[in-house]
Structure 1
Amino acid sequence: LPCTHTGTGRCFMTSQNHGFAVDSKHLPENWKDLFINENDKTNEGIIHERLPYFSVQFHPEHTAGPTDLEFLFDIFVSAIKSHKSSNTYDISAKIVKTLEYKTTMSERPKKVLILGSGGLSIGQAGEFDYSGSQAVKAMQEEKILTVLINPNIATVQTSKGLADKVYFLPITPHYVEQVIKAERPTGVLLTFGGQTALNCGVQLKRAGIFEKYNVSVLGTPIQSIIDTEDRKIFAEKVHAIGEKVAPSAAVSSVEEAVVAAEQIGYPVMARAAFSLGGLGSGFANNEDELRALAHQALSHSDQLIIDKSLKGWKEVEYEVVRDAYDNCITVCNMENVDPLGIHTGESIVVAPSQTLSNREYYMLRNTAIKVIRHFGVVGECNIQYALNPYSEEFFIIEVNARLSRSSALASKATGYPLAYVAAKLALQIPLPKIKNSVTGVTTACFEPSLDYCVVKIPRWDLAKFTRVSTKIGSSMKSVGEVMGIGRNFEEAIQKAFRMVDENVYGFDPNIKSADENELREPTDKRMFVLAAALKDGYPVERLYELTKIDKWFLDKFKNIIDHYNILEHKGIISAETLKNAKQVGFSDKQIAAAIKSTEIAVRKQRQENNITPFVKQIDTVAAEWPASTNYLYLTYNGTSHDIDFVKGFTMVLGSGVYRIGSSVEFDWCAVGCLRELRNQGRKTIMINYNPETVSTDYDMSDRLYFEEISFEVVMDIYNLEQPDGVILS
């Protein structure tokens, strides 16, 4: 829980298990509050004004929680040593000195320029429409005028009624300067428009445009952005705080790349700096492969990074938030199901992490906070790690000092509005003073607790292109992504497989046949090859050797296939077998295919046996606090509904996953529909499963179901909610 030090106002995460608090209104003379609970303002620690006595009501050192206030033990020990040597020791002053952080206050802007991300491209899609829209909302709440530059007409953020002014112009230094000249904003936000906005901002800074027109960069300082983007400076800065990046070298020619690779040792990974979605990157096992890669990468950037290959290591990422007063939290940690070697945008990602030990989790969390403080990030930041599966050795892969696709996923996975909070922090509002907009009563300075599991799967449309390799790796090819929510990993991932492609029934072993080469060299269909291999009896050990996917995940996949085998052998199934299958994420259609029946027959049997899903809330605090959230999902691993069902809603179906030919423009349609229904005084239900969208923002509708858009699920929701009508188009 968040505890605030009364002397400095700094807020820290603490481990707690108590149900009572000291009544600070009736403290004896000379005693005062030391820490208070930021949520309910109850006492969390007391200190004597003169004598060296103090106490806290949390665990500063706890091995099952944050150790952010461990230094209190050092002060306690120092006080004892000082007393033994008959010296005076002012505990209160020492704590204040340790926690004090001086920030440079700047004047609050009256008009802010927001740079959008421009046209959609692979690696940069609708997530920046979501983050930009949140930034505009945050500015409007603070009564600040907003000017948006974004030439993408198919976005919600450029719609009438959001930003005060919208310029449909290219996001290039020349055009942005013209807008600055005409509008005279006093602040600019660069971190809400992806790599396009960042690169443009860096060019404007170097050209002296911001200084010329007296425009201050809000949030993360521009030098911090350059420090995280320039791989050479980044490595030096990380080494300066005793942390490690993978052995690498920054080069600017093919010959330099060859020399660097010989020093580091093959295999190596080559990637272009300041690039989007791993553009121009790949793995090289020898000099010939490296020369080909380097030629390609240097056409995208004038700096090339040669990294030691860590293929097969675990890839873990954290979303970290820091304010201008050095209050720092980690909002979400995510683990890639695929090992390192596949771009995180191409990977299946699970939140929260499933295979890290508690020690590993807090080791990486502490490093994340240390790094974000060292770089001076104000707002939101994403940090990616490579973790050795056989030891606690880890390397920092990269730090993104901006909103990213991972940020959109983390926001939707936890219910924590990262972009909205980051925009408020850019105005130097302290994190503890921002409200958690999901609960409405607690502070935004907290680390969300998840009592569910979230799985993200990318969508590739490679079949629509000729002569395109289906292999996936360090360069992004996916055009969209989906997010499934469940009470266990199997339920969440099976939902996600169906969301990616409506023609897929789940983790289906009948789509592809087992192929060891495809397991070794990942393709867009590798998961179905894995399903076939499990069906053919491949042991988990062998599959781990081939794929380097953690055995925990492989065991979960095996559990799904075991249920397939049970269904296929039984033919006629009992209510118990049916319920068990539903609890590991099987759809009616999937069960029907396994038992040679029909979806309607399975649905009928399910309803006759009262096997129906329960509606659960995402409340960010795992029911520790009362929350009236409208952010919902269905599960068969429950015993009761979290909400009451009242009639009078209109249901709107979202557009689902982005694909070639169906993208952010349909999200614009869905949001427009929701807004107009609200204007007409109607209550709305939204069903969608795309984490990159504005329509899946919890404040866009009265009830948001983050669920599949299929006959089974929509009918289940329809039967529960009994809406007045459904809008499909």
Structure 2
Amino acid sequence: MPKRTDIKKALVIGSGPIVIGQAAEFDYSGSQALKALKEEGIKTVLVNSNPATIQTDPDMADSTYIEPLTAESLEKVIEKERPDGILSGMGGQTGLNLVSELAEKGILQKYNLKVLGTPIKAIQWGEDRDKFKELMIKIGEPVPPSKAVNAVEQALEFATQIGYPVIVRAAYTLGGTGSGIAHNQFELERIASLGLELSRIHQVLVEKSVAGWKEIEYEVMRDSADNCITVCNMENFDPVGIHTGDSIVVAPSQTLTDYEYQMLRTAAIKIIRALGVEGGCNIQFALHPNSEEYVIIEVNPRVSRSSALASKATGYPIAFIAAKIAIGFTLDELPNPITKETKASFEPALDYIVTKIPRWPFEKFRTADRTLGTQMKSTGEVMAIGRNFEESLQKAIRSLDIDKIGLVDGSEDNGKIDLTDHLKTPTHKRLFHIVTALKSGIKAEEISEISKIDLWFIKKIEHIIEIEKMLKSGKKEAIEYARKFGFIEKQIEKITGKKSKSMRVYKMVDTCAAEFEAKTPYYYSTSGTTTD
């Protein structure tokens, strides 16, 4: 389909101030959307309350308003600028909430303002917990036993029926705000009260807990012609029960069978089609670790934090393409900006592994509770690319700026690890607690059972420790072998006590695993002899 001719001017809603769960990712997506719209000759109007962003640079939008992100403020801008359409999916949860409020107050209808991309109905289905559950049941996709409630008493009554523990999720909130796992009546009263207070529609979902299952995410794109692709899938290192923003995440998934991968991919495409999302959508699954049983736990009918990660991991510009879809283009019409030969309907292929590790601000908030759960606490993240999981994990650790040169450095931790406190109850240091546990002689299988982290990941950490032992033993082949798994020269020197030198090479991120020539790729460093 060609570009819409009825859209001459578009209003883009920014995400506002940087808060936990909504930060630079949405400045990135909003900036990409503004570029995409201007490229098609559409005048752009940006409203954002945060001036300290790239998107509020004078060259980004034709008109920029630094105003409070409220329905009243937006109506004044709409009245003055008279845009033809409004793009909500680039402003995170703030953008979705505001467009929903504008629709409810009749402001969109009053000014004949068209919602670009994902329609209001899809936003409501994705954000209203009760409507979402009804839709999933209608299309035959599994959800945990749950009930949307508007009062604490209703939450307590339903929890009594299904039994504890239960997970509470607040509607129309960000970063797991107002959510939590309740193991008893007292905890449920506290969490549900807060969730109801913070929800825009005074609603929380009480559902049977699937904490401990694997958490898998799919980033999916759909256009108005119902073409769908999965940009990539991602696997959380941590099990369900820890917010994905606080979890280590790898792309692509590492522990799924091909059947499980295809099963969840099919479900993801089925869901985005049922919702009617036009643009990007993030779908989160819980997968039973010992069977093929799965449930849908969350859908974000917009560009999300995970969308930014998926874009950087694959080279596929999700926000840019989503903005083009919003003004009428279809995936098969849009060129891939990286290859400039393939179309946006071509699913990316990865011949490397990406690891994301969150960054927490606990050194600045020393009295804060460091326990990780369903409410996000990290304020940033790092991403690293490697030829294998061990390499990308160690590169990410070095990027955290926490005075670590890798997962191991030859030093011995003689402290006793408390399994209950450090493996069962996760904190921001859980990765290093796993290392300590393995070095103290605790079996990988036992650590996996206690932490609910998949055994594959624990074994990979154990492999890094084994390489450290090889280096200490002085084996001739150990140094070259260690380099393949992310050990850098400074790390090797500290472990062996000997000077070491190697050559770094650069490999290509091109969205197609070198199947087609890439015109504008980017690169990551690794150990080796040949640069792409």
Instruction: Tell me the TM-score normalised to structure 2 length.
Output: 0.96
Q: Which of 239, 246, 252 is equivalent to 1:339?
A: 239
CA distance in 1, matches of 2:27, 2:81: 22
Residue equivalent to 1:708: none
Residue equivalent to 1:361: 261
Residues 503 and 529 in structure 2, CA contact (< 8 A), matched pair in contact too: no
Shift of 1:626: 1.2
Q: Which of 474, 479, 491 is equivalent to 1:590?
A: 491
CA distance in 1, matches of 2:76, 2:522: 42
CA distance in 1, matches of 2:191, 2:118: 33
Residues 177 and 198 in structure 2, CA contact (< 8 A), matched pair in contact too: yes
What one-letter code is carried by the residue in structure 2 that aligns with 1:533? A
CA distance in 2, matches of 1:241, 1:106: 31
What one-letter code is carried by the residue in structure 1 that aligns with 2:20? I
1:262-411 aligned within 5 A: 262-301=160-199, 302-411=202-311
Q: Which of 542, 548, 562 is equivalent to 2:446?
A: 542
Residue equivalent to 1:234: 132
1:463 partner SS: coil
Q: 1:351 to 1:385 in 2, by over 3 A?
A: same
Residue equivalent to 1:566: 470
Residue equivalent to 2:312: 412
CA distance in 2, matches of 1:291, 1:312: 23
Q: 1:208 to 1:506 in 2, by over 3 A?
A: same
Shift of 1:550: 0.8
Q: Which of 26, 30, 36 is equivalent to 1:132?
A: 30
What one-letter code is carried by the residue in structure 2 that aligns with 1:615? Y
2:197 partner SS: coil
1:633 partner SS: strand
Matched, 1:184 2:75: no
Q: Which of 564, 577, 583 is equivalent to 2:478?
A: 577
Give deviations 1:471-499, integer Å, cap 9, x for gaps.
Answer: 01100000001101000000001101111
Residue equivalent to 2:505: 614
Matched, 1:485 2:376: no
Q: 1:564 to 1:226 in 2, by over 3 A?
A: same
Give deviations 1:550-592, integer Å, cap 9, x for gaps.
Answer: 111111110001111222333xx64x32221111111222222
CA distance in 2, matches of 1:161, 1:591: 47
What one-letter code is carried by the residue in structure 2 that aligns with 1:641? T
What one-letter code is carried by the residue in structure 2 that aligns with 1:342? I
CA distance in 1, matches of 2:207, 2:404: 37
1:462 partner SS: coil
2:181 partner SS: strand
CA distance in 2, matches of 1:622, 1:473: 36
Give deviations 1:138-158, integer Å, cap 9, x for gaps.
Answer: 001100000000121111111
CA distance in 2, matches of 1:368, 1:329: 10
What one-letter code is carried by the residue in structure 1 that aligns with 2:273? R
Which deviates more from structure 2 when the two are superposed, residues 582-591 or residues 361-370? 582-591
Residues 371 and 426 in structure 2, CA contact (< 8 A), matched pair in contact too: yes
Shift of 1:502: 4.5
What one-letter code is carried by the residue in structure 2 that aligns with 1:366? T
Q: Which of 442, 460, 480 is equivalent to 2:360?
A: 460
Shift of 1:613: 1.6
Q: Which of 514, 524, 544 is equivalent to 2:417?
A: 514
Residues 128 and 193 in structure 1, CA contact (< 8 A), matched pair in contact too: yes
Shift of 1:297: 2.0
What one-letter code is carried by the residue in structure 1 that aligns with 2:487? F
Which structure carries more relative contact order (alpha carbon 8 Å, separation 6+)? 2
Shift of 1:513: 5.3
Shift of 1:266: 0.7
What one-letter code is carried by the residue in structure 1 that aligns with 2:511? T
What one-letter code is carried by the residue in structure 2 that aligns with 1:124? Q
What one-letter code is carried by the residue in structure 1 that aligns with 2:514? A
Residue equivalent to 1:653: none
Matched, 1:623 2:514: yes
Q: 1:625 to 1:106 in 2, by over 3 A?
A: closer
Residue equivalent to 1:633: 524
CA distance in 1, matches of 2:344, 2:122: 24
What one-letter code is carried by the residue in structure 2 that aligns with 1:563? I
Give deviations 1:675-703, integer Å, cap 9, x for gaps.
Answer: xxxxxxxxxxxxxxxxxxxxxxxxxxxxx
Residues 617 and 629 in structure 1, CA contact (< 8 A), matched pair in contact too: no
1:429-448 aligned within 5 A: 429-448=329-348
1:40-59 aligned within 5 A: none
Give deviations 1:1-55, integer Å, cap 9, x for gaps.
Answer: xxxxxxxx9xxxxxxxxxxxxxxxxxxxxxxxxxxxxxxxxxxxxxxxxxxxxxx
Q: Which of 533, 547, 556 is equivalent to 2:437?
A: 533
Q: 1:355 to 1:345 in 2, by over 3 A?
A: same
Give deviations 1:299-323, integer Å, cap 9, x for gaps.
Answer: 2121111111111100001010000
Shift of 1:623: 0.7
CA distance in 1, matches of 2:29, 2:416: 41
What one-letter code is carried by the residue in structure 1 that aligns with 2:510? D
Residue equivalent to 1:174: 72
Across the aligned residues of Structure 1 and Structure 2, the Cα RMSD in angstroms comes to 1.5
**Structure 2: 5+ residue runs without aligned partners?**
none
CA distance in 2, matches of 1:172, 1:295: 25
What one-letter code is carried by the residue in structure 1 that aligns with 2:264? L
CA distance in 2, matches of 1:240, 1:323: 22
Residue equivalent to 2:427: 523
CA distance in 2, matches of 1:547, 1:272: 26
Residue equivalent to 1:163: 61
Residue equivalent to 1:197: 95
**Structure 1: 5+ residue runs without aligned partners?**
1-8, 10-102, 643-729
What one-letter code is carried by the residue in structure 2 that aligns with 1:442? T
Residues 114 and 192 in structure 1, CA contact (< 8 A), matched pair in contact too: yes
What one-letter code is carried by the residue in structure 1 that aligns with 2:44? T
Shift of 1:267: 0.8
Shift of 1:436: 0.6
Shift of 1:135: 0.2
Residues 166 and 206 in structure 2, CA contact (< 8 A), matched pair in contact too: yes
Shift of 1:197: 1.1
Shift of 1:628: 2.8
Residues 337 and 520 in structure 2, CA contact (< 8 A), matched pair in contact too: no
CA distance in 1, matches of 2:327, 2:15: 21
CA distance in 2, matches of 1:539, 1:228: 42
Shift of 1:639: 4.1
Residues 339 and 521 in structure 2, CA contact (< 8 A), matched pair in contact too: no
What one-letter code is carried by the residue in structure 2 that aligns with 1:257? A
CA distance in 1, matches of 2:429, 2:149: 35
What one-letter code is carried by the residue in structure 2 that aligns with 1:352? P
What one-letter code is carried by the residue in structure 2 that aligns with 1:632? Y
CA distance in 1, matches of 2:334, 2:345: 8
What one-letter code is carried by the residue in structure 1 that aligns with 2:51? I
Residues 270 and 281 in structure 1, CA contact (< 8 A), matched pair in contact too: yes
1:614 partner SS: strand
What one-letter code is carried by the residue in structure 2 that aligns with 1:589? K
Residues 618 and 629 in structure 1, CA contact (< 8 A), matched pair in contact too: no
Q: Name the count of aligned residue pairs.
A: 526
Shift of 1:593: 2.5
1:432 partner SS: coil
Q: State the identity as a percent.
A: 52
CA distance in 2, matches of 1:294, 1:392: 31
Shift of 1:181: 0.3
